[in-house]
Structure 1
Amino acid sequence: MKKTFFIAFILTVFISCKNNNKSEQEVTTIGADGQEKTAKLNDGLTLLKGDFIYFADAAVLQTQTEVYGVVIDKKMHELDKKVQPYKKEDTDMVSVEIRGNIIPKPENEEGWPFRVEIKEILNIYKPNPEDNTVVKLGN
């Protein structure tokens, strides 16, 4: 029942229109510059920018074109800990920039067709206070 509610909630959030103006948002940069970035281009990892949420034993990264399940591991918990200061409620999504491996989900599991295993956390974007898109479900 919890999983069904959570999936319905996430789908509702994903379907709702969202107007993000990230040019005016504060950005927390975590990572390297210069030559290290150039070397990283050949390591086989994929750069992903999107909205991250970890709630009720499920982690999701929604980009502009795709929705990924996130592998729950040490790096995912590190990202969740870093986004907590930006969340007002447990169900808030926070824009992030990460690098990771995209892998297909096992055939016998439910969920999105691909998963991402986070290898590096690059940026966390402070939510825009003018964005008042809120979806709340009541009893």
Structure 2
Amino acid sequence: MKKLLVVLLVSFLTVGCKTEKSEGVTETPSSSEVTTENDKTEKQNDGLIAIQGNYLYVAQDNAAVLQTSSEMYGIVINDKIKELNAQVDPLKNEPYDMITITVRGKIFKNEGAKDEWENKIEIEEILKVSRPETEDNDVIKLGTK
């Protein structure tokens, strides 16, 4: 008797939990979810790489770097850097504070320059700018108060 009751209960639950699709209503995927023939989104097929790291721009040298956990990248100075600096500057306490960013861009080898970074990145899209964590600040300041 208990087995029959358990079987009926399980069958009622499985039948009752099925989702019904309403007719005439179709969901359209957003532009970032539209897939191509290789089951990749359009953003995945554009050749850009998403990368996160600590960003530093030095205005007097007109130079910028991106430090990830395993690599340092020189950044190509373009209009996106001006836009990125406008977002980063309010978060800085000191001129040489590094701000955590997430960007999409093209990474390439820096050929011909011996005094620059081995790899460079040209930023095409800014995804996220984060306030720096205060506990990761390993800066030692010298001087008098």
Is residue 2:39 matched to residue 1:36? no
Q: Identify the match of residue 80 of structure 2 among 67, 75, 78.
A: 75
* Equivalent position amino acid for 2:46 in 1: D
Deviation at 1:109, TM superposition (A): 4.4
Q: Measure, in 2, the Cα distance between the counterparts of 1:39 and 1:97.
A: 19
1:106 to 2:111 alignment: yes
Structure-2 residue corresponding to 1:51:
54
Q: Residue 31 of structure 1 aligns with which residue?
A: none
Q: Give distance in 2, aligned partners of 1:61 and 1:136.
A: 23
Give the TM-score, by structure 2 length. Answer: 0.66
Instruction: Return the offset for 1:61.
Output: 0.2
Change (3 A) 1:65 1:132: closer
Higher relative contact order (CA 8 A, sep 6+): 1
In the TM superposition, what whole-angstrom CA distance separates every residue of 1:49-96 from its partner, at most 9, and x where no partner exists? 000000132100001111000001111121111111110011000000
Q: Which runs of 5+ in 1 are unaligned?
A: 1-33
Secondary structure of 1:79's aligned partner = helix
- Quote the residue 1:129 is aligned against: 134
Tell me which amino acid in the other structure corresponds to 1:39: E
In 2: Cα distance, 1:66 partner to 1:137 partner: 28
Q: Relative to structure 1, is the Cα distance of residues 136 and 70 closer, same or farther in structure 2, using a 3 angstrom cutoff? A: farther
2:100 and 2:124 mapped to 1: Cα distance? 17
SS at match of 1:47: strand
1:137 shift after superposition: 5.6
Query: For residues 114 and 137 of structure 2, what CA distance do their matches in structure 1 show?
Result: 34
* Partner AA of 1:40 in structure 2: K
Please show how residues 59-70 of structure 1 align to structure 2 within 5 Å: 59-70=64-75
Unaligned runs of 5+ in 2: 1-29, 34-40
Greater percentage in helix: 1
Say which one has the larger Rg: 2
Displacement after TM superposition at 1:39 (Å): 1.9
Compared CA separation, residues 109 and 132, structure 1 to 2 (3 A): closer
Deviation at 1:106, TM superposition (A): 2.8
Whether 1:97 and 2:102 are equivalent positions in the alignment is yes
Number of paired residues? 106
Query: Aligned partner of 1:110: which letter?
Result: D
